[in-house]
């Protein structure tokens, strides 16, 4: 059981590290002057692609973490199809 916990911790750490590295690379490569302009009743909102890419990478890391943790929890309660 302890071996699986350590393996799970390493998987999550690797996913988060890769997510942060990818997010920083996206933020650095994409220019701040190019993006999406949303217009509304209150005014105009400009969202640069660099920020969209950054948050997308972090959301992906969070999603993978949730899936890995959920799979481990389901395996712990006895759902054998997750092994």
Q: Region 5-33: what's the mean pLDDT?
A: 79
Determine contact, residues 64/58, Cβ cutoff 8 Å: no
Per residue in 41-57, pLDDT (tens digit) is 889 988 887 777 777 77
Other CB atoms within 10 A of residue 67 CB = 11
Total count of domains within the chain: 1
Range of the domain at 76: 2-82
Q: pTM of the prediction? A: 0.57
Confidence class for position 80, pLDDT limits 50, 70, 90? low
């Amino acid at each position: 059981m302890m071996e699986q916990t350590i393996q799970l911790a390493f998987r999550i750490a690797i996913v988060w590290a890769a997510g942060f590295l990818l997010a920083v690379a996206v933020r650095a490569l994409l220019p701040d002057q190019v993006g999406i302009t949303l217009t509304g009743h209150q005014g105009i909102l400009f969202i640069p692609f660099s920020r969209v890419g950054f948050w997308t990478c972090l959301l992906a890391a969070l999603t993978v973490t949730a899936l890995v943790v959920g799979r481990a929890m389901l395996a712990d309660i006895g759902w054998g199809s997750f092994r």
